[in-house]
Structure 1
Amino acid sequence: MNTTIPNNGLPKFTQTTGNAGNGPATTASGAADAASAVPKAGDQLKLTDSALALQEAARTDDSAVIDAARVERLRQALADGSYQVDAGRTADRMLALDQQLGGTGNA
């Protein structure tokens, strides 16, 4: 089954390629020029701490250590109703997180 989605009167935009900077974008019609655009030796890319954290979180390799035994203990405690929530500890950690995120720390 084929489905066609009409343009609904919206303007058609050209596909840009390869340029994430502030310079002029290369359009699909200028693809020949894009092939000759080679990064210069002095080009650099610096990621913010947030970008690095997101990149690390997105990793799919086995670098994340998961304690399978602890996960199973928690799963069992939830299933049999013996899991206890320490409300004071939870509140303290939420306040600490708020302070890390730039909040005032006042509840």
Structure 2
Amino acid sequence: MAIDFPGMSPAPAAGNRGKVSEQQTPGNAQTPGSANMQTSKPDISDTVRISDTAQALQRSVGKQDSSADVDTDRVAQIKAAIDSGSYKIDNERVAERMLQFDKLLG
């Protein structure tokens, strides 16, 4: 499977592929007797810039992982109440909170 990258020379045909050390590219073409010669690298450097939005997102993920938003004591109390059968659901409170949430979205 070949992948074409804009602005780059096309990859060699499938039948011409070989080991990386055996491939001939314009920058590393070898002549007889020059197998050990090093070619100089171009003075081009690549840079990567992460957008401000991506940086803020990364910081928020790190903060979220470090802070505990769960009250483990309260969770344990509710689990114990459910197991014992003493946990009661307040239907009116649930309905009221659902309506409040719907108003936030609407």
Q: Which has the higher contact order (CA 8 A, sep 6+)?
A: 1
Higher share in helix: 2
TM-score by length of 1: 0.44
Highest Rg: 1 or 2?
A: 2
Give the alignment's TM-score, normalised by structure 2: 0.44
